[in-house]
Amino acid sequence: MNFLKLFAKHRVWFILLGILIVTILMSPNFLTVRNISNVLLQTSINGIIALGMTFLLISGDFDLSVGSVMALSAALAIGLQSRGILTACITAVVLGSAFGLLNGFLVTKAKINAFIVTLGTMTMVRGIVLAYTNQRPISGSNSSFLNLSGSSWLGIPIPAFIFFAGVIVSHIILTYNSLGRNCFAIGGNREASIFSGIRVDRYRIIYFTICSFTASIAGIVLASRLNTASPVYGQDTALMVVAAVLLGGTSLAGGSGSVIQTLAGVMIIGVLNNSLNLLNVFSYYQGLIIGIILVVVTILDSYYAKKRKFEAQIVTKRLEFKKELNNGT
Amino acid sequence: MIQTTYQETKKTTGLRILMDILKRHGIFVALIALFIVGSLISDVFLSPRNIFNILRQSSIVGIMAIGMTFVLIGGDIDLSVGSTLSLCMVLAIGLQQQGLALSILIVLIVGILVGLLNGLLVGLFKANAFIVTLGTMSIVQAIALIYSKGYHMLGDPESAFSIIGRGMIGPVPIPVIIFIAFSIVFHIILNNSKFGYSVYATGGNAKAAWASGIHTGLTKLLAFALTGFTAAVGALVMSSRLASAQPSAGQGYELDVIAAVILGGTSLLGGRGSILRTVVGALFFAVFSNLMILLNVAYPFQLVIKGAIIICAVWADIIGRRALQQ
């Protein structure tokens, strides 16, 4: 019974463990240093965005534009390289985050649905990227930019360090800081948050900006891998990232979730992609398998949510019954 | 008290009526404005040929948007329509040798099956519609790629199948006729059938609908099946028009379709919307793309303007509705 409860609570980690065991048993190449660092490198880009998306989903909002923002940031980081790598990266991050600010303003002040706003900015930013790059991939002149994701420390690539540092920082913010605590409050009950004095609009704008900020960082990392930026980067990033965050158990309805769980969700998708590659599964079947897993996990999630709700009802009924008993005697 | 309100209503001037129409039916006004701008800017814009061209271009997104309207009114979302379009297209071309009737039948059945799968997961297993259809999107896209082996499939442009996409009845292209027929039929179904009422009730308040005897799960199932069906019909039109099929042709279509429905004023929260408004939304996008092409606007800038229009249209709709409530 206790084990079942433990399993239900941390099921993402058990799923990850299961996938890891199956992968290790089936392909001997998985547990090599080179492959592991490869997996970490591949997952860190979507993972970094997933951190920002976790904030946003917990607060009950949503961002489709992360893929386009990532492409914009990548294009700027490459295109402005002639003025120095640092200047290029800072410009990329600032401009990318500005779109988060725009999203936040439109969602909170103009009260437009987040899905529509970010669909609109997604299209707009994609247009800007295509215009900026003249619709073809651009490559950088300064090869030291490659060091950002090319070099590694203790066998772990630098982007993975950025990702893990992001996980730790986000976790601390979400659990111990008012910026993160308010996230749960706003997602759990927006009206109650307003009445308890939280500046809901301001915080939601901040969360949108955080999400775009992480997307910009991911764009810089992506650009540094080949010192190239393609205008079609990140076409399905938003969906993969949201999938990873939800796999981690963050609810689409808002109010619950955690960055640590998101880490598990990101790793599941990363390990799965990698193991399918190692097992020589044709790439078309990978989409099939990932889709099936997504469907199964979602059904499980709704099952557990229903069960939780039912258990909560039983607990309240019991409490009421006890109260009545006490009043009677 | 009663007298004053009576006098107030009597004061209604032409301007107020105009403002009222603007607030209630902003998207209609926007479409008309776009038409006027188009006719002023370009000489060929209002020619019958161009008008039918616009209608034909809007028909595929429009047909798919009709099904999507049901799902959105029911309070759900279906992201898998683009993949369904791809799968049905490669099937329609791939099965062409099996005979016209059989291939069309199989395509329609496959579309409905995909919809039923979505409906089953959302309606009966109560899974989150957004994420489950994201999963089926991936699955269906993979099946389309596996079936076509990733190749661009070429059909026979001389076969009778081409009539669906290329044929004309008088001056009117057949896709447009299908689009109009679907709009009328599904408008009637949405407004005058028990199923239509159930969809509105489910989207408006699922618990209340359940309490008043509506099987909400079954309603959702049917709404999704309908979306799968319209996606299959859209695929038939598109593959027949192109006489070829690409396994990734439908990528991104789901967002175009959803944008058309929402531009028409159907709420993402469910419970509100209409087929007529969806048709206007689909037309708006088609007219817009047409104008951009006539004006020779570069593709990246088209995207920027399109994104801005999506946001502004919904914003205007919200402002109008808020003004009405006051």
Q: Ranked by mean pLDDT, which of A129-138, B19-28, B312-321 comes out on top? A: A129-138
Q: Identify the band that residue B2 occupies on the pLDDT scale cut at 50, 70 and 90.
A: very low
Residue B23, pLDDT score: 63
Residue A1 counted as domain residue: no
Residue B1, pLDDT score: 40
Write out pLDDT tens, residues A265-283.
Answer: 899 888 888 888 888 888 7
Strands B244-245 vs B153-154: parallel, antiparallel or unpaired? antiparallel
Question: If you average pLDDT over residues A183-209, what whole number do you get?
Answer: 88
Of A194-208, A228-242, B174-188, the poorest mean pLDDT is in A228-242
Contacts of B278 (CB under 8 A, 6+ apart): B62, B65, B66, B68, B69, B260, B261, B264, B266
Residue B3, pLDDT score: 47
Average pLDDT, chain A: 85
Judge if A275 and A289 occupy the same domain. no
Q: Nearest CA of chain A to the CA of B7: how many Å?
A: 34
Residue A179, pLDDT score: 87
Judge if A41 and A187 occupy the same domain. yes
Q: Cα–Cα distances in Å, from B47 out to B36, B42, B52, B54?
A: 13, 10, 9, 11
Question: Structure tokens of B239?
Answer: 């593959």
Contacts of B99 (CB under 8 A, 6+ apart): none
Separation CA A73–CA A76 (nearest Å): 5
Contacts of B260 in chain A (CB under 8 A): none
- Other Cβ atoms less than 10 A from the Cβ of B324: the count is 11
Minimal-distance CA residue of chain A relative to B305: A124
To the nearest 10 degrees (0 to 180), the angle between helices B216-242 and B174-192 is 170
Contacts of B315 in chain A (CB under 8 A): 106, 110, 112
The question of ipTM being above 0.90 is answered as no
Range of the domain at A218: 11-280
Residue A1, pLDDT score: 57
CATH number of the domain that residue A179 is part of: 1.10.3470
Contacts of A270 (CB under 8 A, 6+ apart): A39, A40, A42, A43, A46, A47
Residue B4: pLDDT over 50: no
Q: Is B321 left (phi over 0), alpha (psi -120 to 50) or beta?
A: alpha
Judge if A124 and A220 occupy the same domain. yes
Q: Does B121 touch chain A (CB under 8 A)?
A: yes
Judge if A157 and A287 occupy the same domain. no
Separation CA A54–CA A259 (nearest Å): 7
Minimal-distance CA residue of chain B relative to A294: B135
Judge if A110 and A193 occupy the same domain. yes
Question: If you average pLDDT over residues B87-113, what whole number do you get?
Answer: 91
Is residue A125 within 8 A of residue B289, CB to CB? The reply is no
Q: Does B315 touch chain A (CB under 8 A)?
A: yes
Separation CA A2–CA A14 (nearest Å): 15
Q: Identify the band that residue B105 occupies on the pLDDT scale cut at 50, 70 and 90.
A: very high
Minimal-distance CA residue of chain B relative to A243: B131
Residue A317 counted as domain residue: yes
Query: Are A287 and B145 an interchain contact pair (Cβ–Cβ within 8 Å)?
Result: yes
Judge if A190 and A299 occupy the same domain. no
Of B142-151, B224-233, B270-279, B316-325, the poorest mean pLDDT is in B316-325
Residue B12: pLDDT over 70: no
Judge if A134 and A96 occupy the same domain. yes
Judge if A216 and A83 occupy the same domain. yes
Residue A308, pLDDT score: 66
Residue A172, pLDDT score: 93
Q: Identify the band that residue A19 occupies on the pLDDT scale cut at 50, 70 and 90.
A: confident
Judge if A112 and A74 occupy the same domain. yes
Judge if A147 and A291 occupy the same domain. no
Query: Are A306 and B126 an interchain contact pair (Cβ–Cβ within 8 Å)?
Result: yes
Query: Are B315 and A112 an interchain contact pair (Cβ–Cβ within 8 Å)?
Result: yes
Residue B7: pLDDT over 80: no
Residue B24, pLDDT score: 66
Write out pLDDT tens, residues A34-61.
Answer: 888 888 888 999 999 999 999 998 988 8
State percent of chain A over pLDDT 90.
22
Minimal-distance CA residue of chain B relative to A285: B142
Separation CA B170–CA B172 (nearest Å): 6
Query: Are B134 and A116 an interchain contact pair (Cβ–Cβ within 8 Å)?
Result: no
Residue B251, pLDDT score: 82
Contacts of B136 in chain A (CB under 8 A): 291, 295
| Cα angle, residue B220 at apex, residues B130 and B284 outer, rounded to 5° | 65
Residue B51: pLDDT over 80: yes
Residue A329 counted as domain residue: no
Residue A187, pLDDT score: 84
Residue A291, pLDDT score: 84
Q: Nearest CA of chain A to the CA of B167: how many Å?
A: 33
The phi and psi torsions of B121 (rounded to 5 degrees) equal -65, -40
* Number of compact structural domains in chain A: 2
Write out pLDDT tens, residues A112-128.
Answer: 878 788 888 988 999 99
Q: Could you tell me which residue, A82 or B26, shows the higher pLDDT?
A: A82
Query: Are A120 and B308 an interchain contact pair (Cβ–Cβ within 8 Å)?
Result: yes
Instruction: Give the three-state DSSP class for B154.
Output: strand
Minimal-distance CA residue of chain A relative to B77: A115
Contacts of B135 in chain A (CB under 8 A): 243, 290-295, 298
Q: Ranked by mean pLDDT, which of A142-151, A208-217, B16-25, B47-56 comes out on top? A: A208-217
To the nearest 10 degrees (0 to 180), the angle between helices A33-58 and A66-79 is 120
Q: Could you tell me which residue, A184 or B128, shows the higher pLDDT?
A: A184
Question: Structure tokens of B57?
Answer: 């271009």
To the nearest 10 degrees (0 to 180), the angle between helices B174-192 and B48-73 is 30
Judge if A271 and A288 occupy the same domain. no
Query: Are B307 and A131 an interchain contact pair (Cβ–Cβ within 8 Å)?
Result: no
Q: Which residues of A136-172 are buried (b: 16+ CB within 10 A; e: fewer)?
A: eebebeeeebeebbbebeeebbbbbebbeebbeebbe
Q: What do you get for the CA distance between the two ends of chain B, in Å?
A: 19
Separation CA B144–CA B285 (nearest Å): 27
Write out pLDDT tens, residues B210-260.
Answer: 888 889 999 999 999 999 999 999 999 999 988 888 888 888 788 889 888
Judge if A261 and A309 occupy the same domain. no
